[in-house]
Amino acid sequence: MSHAHHIGVLAGEVSGDILGGAVLRELKRRQASLEFTGIGGEQMSLHGLTSLYDMERLAVFGLIEPLKRLPELLSIRRSVRQHMLKSRPQLFLGIDSPDFNLTLERQLRSKGIKTAHLVSPSVWAWRPGRIHNIKKAVDLMLCLLPFECDFYERHGVKAALVGHPLIEELSALPDQGTARNYLRLPEAGQVLVCMPGSRASEIEHLGPVFTQVIMRLLASDRQMRVVVPAASLERMEQIRHFMPIEDDRFSVIEGQSRLAMVAADAILCASGTSTLEAMLIGRPMTIAYRMGWLSWQILSRMVTSPYVGLPNVIAGQAVAPEFLQGDATPENLYRAVLQSFSSAGDGQRQRFVELSERIGSDFAVRSVDAIEELLSDVDR
């Protein structure tokens, strides 16, 4: 028999721990007697999780590191599975870390334990065959974005749209004037925020192209300011190397990317999470991406989505212009950025409001509503 006051939960990295902390807090608010065991970090522990292992032991990235650590990772997963099969939780919730969690969820579900997974893998974009394993692994997929929900329902997997936690986070940001004042930017004149990516390879490929775009923009508008937020001091030095622009109106800052986006009139960015943040903040953007030739040849054959920028994926059409690989030329990007400062940018802003409403807020409340509905189906 499942333990009615016990929920198993596992997050393998910091981002998942933050999401899990919000969900556990809401679960505990509704049922104070709930107990949580599994693996998580500081946020989940704060809301009652008894962690069987240090979450840092699961935080491996890249292709080689997981292979080196494979015996330890398999041992941890085996131990967690044994714990869950012995304690029989009412539900097991896997949070992100799909390579680790989905196998564990499939094993537990085959033994009669209900499973839910929070944060969909990008199965809609590449390796769509994974849907067959997901179908075996989860009773419920908790989706942050609407097109994910549609994908799962088409494939016969129960899914719930729970909104995106970024919406609440970004609502705490100041207005544009305050953001400009904090970043010491003038109130008058156009501000472009340039985001060439948070990875070294992204900056290496996009930095020189973005530099040419910025130089043309600065030459065409004497009042324009350009701000480049860097994810770390290391990325800051790399940006200065690949974008060696000597102009008082150009600045590279450490962190504060969201504040910079609020201060901006338009954004030039690499494809990634920043496109979703820019959409939710409501700033028109131009999206670009470049990678090494061989990587592009491989990846472009694996990806099934016609778009890479999340606003476009959500809308199912090109709301924001995006230029990939050979199309990401200085000329194309320059023209698109200029248009984003005009009425075309106003059109993006209007669509972004609609798309943000389609996603919705109240992430933790909606997640727990969906979990409770799944559990009530079991009880009936």
What are the sequence ranges of the domains in the chain?
Answer: 3-163+362-379, 170-359
User: What pLDDT is recorded for position 62?
Assistant: 46
170-359, CATH topology level: Rossmann fold (3.40.50)
Mean pLDDT of 191-202: 90
User: What pLDDT is recorded for position 315?
Assistant: 92
Domain pair 3-163+362-379 / 170-359, same fold: yes
- The string of pLDDT tens digits covering residues 339-349 is 999 888 899 99
Mean pLDDT of 67-77: 83
User: What pLDDT is recorded for position 136?
Assistant: 96
| 1: confidence class by pLDDT, cuts 50, 70, 90 | very low
Q: What mean pLDDT, rounded, does the chain reach? A: 90
Sheet-wide strand order for 49-54: 49-54, 35-40, 3-11, 89-95, 115-118, 140-143, 159-161
Its CATH class, for the domain covering 3-163+362-379, is: alpha beta
- The string of pLDDT tens digits covering residues 73-115 is 899 999 999 999 999 999 999 998 888 999 999 999 999 999 9
Of 109, 88, 121, 125, the C-alpha closest to 6 is 88
Please give the DSSP secondary-structure letter assigned to residue 303. Answer: B
User: What pLDDT is recorded for position 170?
Assistant: 93
Q: Answer whether residue 298 shows pLDDT above 70.
A: no
| 121: confidence class by pLDDT, cuts 50, 70, 90 | confident
Asked if 81 and 108 count as a contact pair (C-beta separation under 8 A), the reply is yes
